[in-house]
Amino acid sequence: MVDIKSEIGSILLLSSILCYFFAVSVGLVVGRSYGFLRIASYFELYVVRSVPTIGLTIGGLAFYFAGRKQFLKRSNDHLTTTILLLLCGSLLVGFGFFFLLGGIGAAEYQVAKVGEYTGRTLTDELIVGSPILLTGFLWLMSGIVLLIDIRKSLMLETARANIIRN
């Protein structure tokens, strides 16, 4: 029987990106249709957008780690799988960097522009944006894990081909 935990994990990791952007787009449509959403704080808005994404990312990582050794052994023979994992890992790293740097930059901008009027510090703004920062961190780490595994897989395949050739 084929163990498909790692495949499920890879799909969950990729769907976490789609889930976040779906939540943002639904929020924009609902926000424009019914006026501005009456949510008590931006922190709650970030939590509504980020909790499903964080759950999918953590679940995807758990499934991926549970079956990655068998998955990498099977995927050595399939170039398509390797390319899809490379694409998924690159997307996760790119969006992870974007969310981390964007979240920190937005917090610094907020403090510089209105911090003196509201009395909020950089730490306060980072706490408000912590769900987005956590999402970015998880995506970055997930992408790095996928890219490292792909590199190991390709190195093993190259070594195996050199042994067969010699």
Question: C-alpha distances in angstroms, 35 versus 24, 29, 32, 38, 39?
Answer: 16, 10, 5, 9, 12
Number of domains in the chain: 1
Phi, psi of 96 (to 5 degrees): -65, -45
Per-residue model confidence as pLDDT tens digits over 150-165: 887 777 666 666 677 6
Is the confidence at residue 141, as pLDDT, over 90?
Answer: yes
pLDDT score for 80: 77
How much of the chain, in percent, has pLDDT values that exceed 70?
Answer: 80
Is the pTM for the entire model greater than 0.85? Answer: no
pLDDT score for 31: 59
- Give the relative orientation of helices 130-165 and 42-75 as an angle to the nearest 10 degrees: 10
The Cα 55–Cα 101 span in angstroms is 22
pLDDT score for 118: 77
110 versus 43: the higher-pLDDT residue is 110
Q: Residue 131 sits in which domain range?
A: 5-165
Closest by CA to 61, choosing from 14, 131, 100, 103, is 14
Is the confidence at residue 21, as pLDDT, over 90?
Answer: no
By CB neighbour count within 10 A (0-12 exposed, 13-18 middle, 19+ buried), where does 15 fall? middle
Q: What is the mean pLDDT of residues 141-147?
A: 91
pLDDT score for 32: 53
